[in-house]
Structure 1
Amino acid sequence: MEPLVSVQEMRAVDKLSVTALEIPAILLMENAGLKMAQTIRQKLNTVSGKLICIICGKGNNGGDGFVVGRHLSRMGARVEFFSTAAREDLKGEAAANRLIAEKLRLPIRDIRSADELRPSHTPALIVDALLGTGIRGEVSGLYREIIEWINAQEVPVAAVDTPSGVNCDTGETAGAAVQADFTVTMGNIKTGQLFYPARSRQGALFVADLNTPSFILEKVNPRKYLVQPEDLAAFLPHRPADAYKNTFGKVLIIAGSTGLTGAAAMASLSALRSGAGMVVLGIPERFNPVFEEKITEVMTAPLPETESGSIHSRAIHEIDRWLKWSHVLALGPGLSTHPETQAFVRAFLQKVDKPIVIDADGINNLAGQFDLIKNYPADLVFTPHVGELSRLTGVSQKDILANRVEIVRKWAQKLHCVILLKGAPTVVADPDGNAYFNPSGNAGMATAGSGDVLTGLIAGFLAQGMTGMQAAVSGAFAHGMAGDLAAQKLGQRGMIAGDILNHVPEALSLFEQNKTETLRHWNFFERLF
């Protein structure tokens, strides 16, 4: 998995590289700028004779810009610098690299207004080295004018580290932000680069490897990771040629109520599509005839029901046979919050001791039941959206949205469980305080039933021997892949949950067939060595 860092953690990595390894800071800047220049040459095929306009701010991002321009000039480009700070206003490595550019007689124009941004002719590329990762608060004044000027030009834009105006911790934009065609971020991906709108502003993302030893990053210990296709490939279990259905696990799913039978169907079929060997669906008894016709591959267990068609608390006494039979449990899709159903859910969690994934009304019916949850004796995976996590924990939706990562990490540790918080990106946190970010998926998946497909996938992966963390991470990634494959064929606007479900086998087959080139489509970034 690819480590992710906050802005402060990246600074700590750089500082340790300088203090512990005695690597001069100016050498780190040199390496970063060279990687950026090489990437620009690759993207433009050649830079020889092409005008490249580099806009430098007063901090280290501007210093990177001077290094980039120097190397591009050496490669044959015509370089023009526009700087928001005179050399005497710069410090440290940024001042040193501007001085080198001056001694090489590269053209540098200090500007106090965007009106002074007048390249000698239309450039082949604009390099944004204005603000970098250090912004706080709204972008205003000269910087806002420059950003608006950059965005108004009809030429490609390359951003150094991050598009100016993007907060690399939250992914938010600060009033104005550069729209880049590609971004070269230095050292490690920043957490905010996984979130929108940052993700839509940065274009293609490249990571310049600064050859930092792994022990430096381990010392900083960010405990945040980007999931990539090779991670799912590593987690998927081998399927022996002489296997039979019991080999791949047996799943018991408790789901469904009046008006919400589709959720039960989606979850149970998805568990089978994930590769699980057998699935039994526990449902209110009145729906049994319907399900026996609707989903022939899934076995059913009719359970006592309430007058409104949800599972009754009496069902807890009639489910022992299936509990003994199953390896893994799933609880919640379409279940309802009827008081009798709530009583069943709470009694169920006290009774069972097998890996379980809990979604939707399974979560809602456990709101505030912290002791019951944290004392669960096996892997427990919650899959809430923001509203469900708010109901479970009592934390407001506003607070969760403002600090998604830290809140989901805190509660996964507090409740001794895995929490998968749905969103763009989906974030998975484990009881050890690690957070995993899923980059796959698209807006077409924001449709009723999509989460039920995810629940089934996670349950199926648990049944095949994955841990709770592995199943949640793999389920989220495969779910997003299936959604992306569906969108490629159908477009996002008209997608329904069944389209995601129907593309799960195709997504998983890419790993079985080792389709490395195709799987690269889901690489969030490209590393530059």
Structure 2
Amino acid sequence: MILVTAKQMQEMDRKTITEFGIPGLVLMENAGRGALETLVETFDPIESYRVAIISGRGNNGGDGFVIGRYLMEMGVAVSFILLSERDKVAGDAKINMELVEALLAEHPESRFLEVPDGETFDRLKPTILHHDLFVDAIFGTGLNADVRGFFKTVIQTLNQSQSPVFSVDIPSGLNADTGKVCGTAIEADATATFAFAKAGHVLYPGNVHTGALEIIDIGIPGHIALGECPNLFLPEKEDIAALMPKRPFNTHKGSAGHLLTLAGAPGKTGAAALCANAAVRAGAGLVTLGVPQGILGIMESLAVEPMAIGLPQGDAGELSEEGLQAIQTVMSGKQVLAMGPGLGTHSSTQALIRALVEHSDIPMVIDADALNCLTSTPDIFSVAKAPLILTPHPGEMARLTGTSPKDIQADRLNIAIEFSQQANVILVLKGAQTLTACPDGTCYICPTGNPGMASGGMGDVLTGMIAGYMAQGMAPEAAAVAGVFIHGFCGDLLAQTSPVGFTASDMIKIIPNALAKILA
């Protein structure tokens, strides 16, 4: 699914009107009629509701007038609540407001209330709240400042009411690009948006405020939409299914990909096992797990299918730079190198990781401690010879950028895209709606996953999955997008049994089943 920004949507509207000759009034009519269809399907039978259209003075309010006009013609009692003075409504919205006013004489069950200020709202509040359904047409996608004054009071009042709310285009108070709440925002049960979903609909907390989302075709020509070069995407099952490699009948383990995982240290053997076992479950034909010699025995019992090998270790039992030549020998014939889970951050391990990033010629998935080993030399990514996929959580991302987790979470989308472009890496920024940002500016927002996945080892599983898909021949970008989606989908399947308490090991077991459901 394509996602757009408010600016891109505004430009599409402008070009449709000025270059293609479709009047703005027609677009507003299409938007209102399409939103009405969703409203009627969502709240059935619509005739049983007392509906209040809460309109601002802009085009979003105009869409609300169109919806209300059609509702009146269906015999629904509609109250039009204009949060402005009439003479401040202009353009296409004014035309639709005047159409509504002209029709009111034929529909005595409906009414028009002008509510230009807080005093009027307080006086009419009991009347306004005496409705079964609110249509939120206050602010559209252009909002970029905090909601203040009586608008804030109106939104908070609607949220506190017991009646459902249907938002037009976007819940009023949400930033359409980031999903952030601008002071306060409508908590909608459902939203009808136009032409394309906006990033703010799917990014937390916007996704929570949006409710069920329906996209309405309002007649924007396809070449105009594509001309805006959208760079944000929300992958769906069908997209992931199309990415997955199809195996020839005569496939054997040697042709299904061979990857090397460098992971583990004393006390951190579980992370290494999770990563390697996940790669196997993702379908890699062969997985070699390279660990410090001192923990080889433990690893052979924790990871049965992967081939565990012991590598030279330092005085603290860590993988060290002294093992570089041995590792490079083992890397021969491998399609992917995954490193980081449970490695530790000993100075000798840091030197090893830097050398591998700088000199290796096979694609790498870099996670956890391998990322932490590189925080003092972030410029090293730009000199890497091979494609890199970095998979930080917000804390690791903060260390890479010299900021704080709070800073990262405050602007996840822009930070991910900017870092990916500057470092020339594919960046998987984990969290609610994990982001996969690519050097060309493309970014994928993952729709799968849930809070039950906030448990140790989940990231190790993701690293193994992405590496496993790459080993089978998937391009790095495709492997990252698919790995993130399927990883979250596994969590969603497990959450159907219990919302919490499932583990990373549970995730690994159902990877094949999750893929089967996606491919079905």
TM-score class, shorter: over 0.9
Q: Which amino acid aligns with 1:377?
A: K
- 1:212 partnered with 2:220: yes
Aligned: 1:328 with 2:336: yes
1:68 aligned partner = 67
Would you say the 8 A contact 2:27–2:219 is kept in 1? Answer: no
TM-superposed CA distance for 1:42, in Å, is: 0.8
* Residue equivalent to 1:102: 101
Q: For residues 228 and 128 of structure 2, what CA distance do their matches in structure 1 show?
A: 45
1:306 maps to 314
Correspondence for 1:93: 92
Q: Secondary structure at the match of 1:88?
A: helix
What is the rounded CA distance, in whole Å, between the counterparts of 2:449 and 2:123 in structure 1? 41
Residue 351 of structure 1 corresponds to 359
Hey, what's the Cα distance between the residues in 2 that align with 1:134 and 1:408? 23
**Cα distance, 1:371 vs structure 2:** 5.0
Matched, 1:499 2:506: yes
State whether residues 368 and 394 of structure 1, in contact with CA within 8 Å, keep that contact through their aligned partners in structure 2: no
Contact 2:133-2:164 within 8 A present in 1 as well: yes
1:350 and 1:160 map into 2 onto residues whose CA distance is: 51
Cα distance in 1 for residues equivalent to 2:236 and 2:259: 27
The CA distance in 2 between the partners of 1:233 and 1:436, in whole Å, is: 16
Q: 1:200 and 1:372 mapped to 2: Cα distance?
A: 38
Q: Could you give the per-residue CA deviations for residues 220-253 of structure 1, whole angstroms, max 9, x where no partner exists?
A: 2231111111111011011223211122101100
Distance 2:491 2:48 in 1: 44
Report SS of the residue matched to 2:178: coil
User: In structure 1, what is the Cα distance between the partners aligned to 2:498 and 2:20?
Assistant: 53
Indicate conservation of the 8 Å contact 2:269/2:298, yes or no.
no
1:225 paired with 2:224, answer: no
Matched residues in 1 for 2:324 and 2:330: separation? 11
Answer whether contact 1:368 1:393 (CA < 8 A) is retained: no
| Equivalent runs, 1:126-525 vs 2, <5 Å | 126-370=134-378, 372-492=380-500, 494-512=501-519, 514=520
Q: Which amino acid aligns with 2:97?
A: R
SS of residue matched to 2:100: helix
How far residue 218 of structure 1 moved from its aligned partner, in angstroms, is: 2.7
Whether the aligned pair in 2 keeps the contact of 1:82 and 1:117 (CA below 8 Å) is no
Q: Name 1:19's counterpart in structure 2.
A: 18
Amino acid at match of 1:509: A
**1:159–1:328 Cα change, 3 Å:** same
AA partner of residue 366 (structure 2): I
How far did 1:304 drift? 1.2
Which residue is equivalent to 2:54? 55
Segment drifting more, 460-469 vs 348-357: 348-357
Q: Which amino acid aligns with 2:386?
A: A
Q: Give, in angstroms, the shift of residue 499 of structure 1.
A: 2.2
1:324 positional shift: 1.0
Q: How many residues align?
A: 511
Moved more, 108-117 or 177-186: 108-117
CA distance in structure 1 between the partners assigned to 2:320 and 2:45 by the alignment = 70
**Identity of counterpart residues, as a percentage?**
40
Q: Which residue identity does 1:238 align to in structure 2?
A: K
Whole-Å separation in 2 of the counterparts to 1:28 and 1:314: 67
Q: What 5-or-longer segments of structure 1 have no aligned partner?
A: 515-529
AA aligned opposite 2:43: L
Given that 1:379 and 1:467 are in contact with CA atoms closer than 8 Å, whether structure 2 keeps it comes out as: no
The answer to whether the Cα contact below 8 Å between 2:52 and 2:128 also exists between their aligned partners in 1 is no
Unaligned ranges ≥5, structure 2: 105-109
C-alpha separation between the residues in 2 aligned to 1:401 and 1:43? 33
Residues 53 and 119 of structure 1 are in contact (CA less than 8 Å); yes or no, is this contact kept in structure 2? no
Letter in 2 for 1:162: I
Q: Against the structure 1 CA distance between its residues 373 and 50, is the aligned structure 2 distance closer, same or farther, given a 3 Å change threshold?
A: closer
Cα deviation 1:482-509 (Å, max 9, x = unaligned) = 01111111222x2322222222122111
Q: For the residues of structure 2 that align with 1:370 and 1:97, how far apart are their CA atoms?
A: 56
Amino acid of the residue matched to residue 65 of structure 1? G
Find the aligned partners of 2:225 and 2:373 in 1 and give their Cα distance: 41
Q: Could you tell me which amino acid in structure 1 is paired with residue 111 of structure 2?
A: P
TM-score, L = length of structure 2:
0.94
Q: 1:327 to 1:368 in 2, by over 3 A?
A: same
Distance 1:27 1:118, change over 3 A: farther
Deviation (angstroms), 1:397 = 4.1
Question: Which stretch shows the higher mean deviation, 180-189 or 495-504?
Answer: 495-504
Q: Is this contact kept in 2: 1:49–1:78, CA < 8 A?
A: no
In 2, Cα distance between equivalents of 1:86 and 1:385: 49
Superposed CA RMSD in Å reads 1.8
Moved more, 320-329 or 389-398: 389-398
SS in 2 for 1:48: helix
Matched residue of 1:413: which SS? Answer: helix
TM-score by length of 1: 0.93
- State how far apart, in whole Å, the 2-side matches of 1:337 and 1:244 are: 37
Q: Residue 114 of structure 1 contacts residue 142 of structure 1 at CA under 8 Å; is this kept in 2?
A: no
Supply the distance in 2 between the matched residues of 1:232 and 1:115 (Cα, whole angstroms): 54
Distance 2:304 2:215 in 1: 48
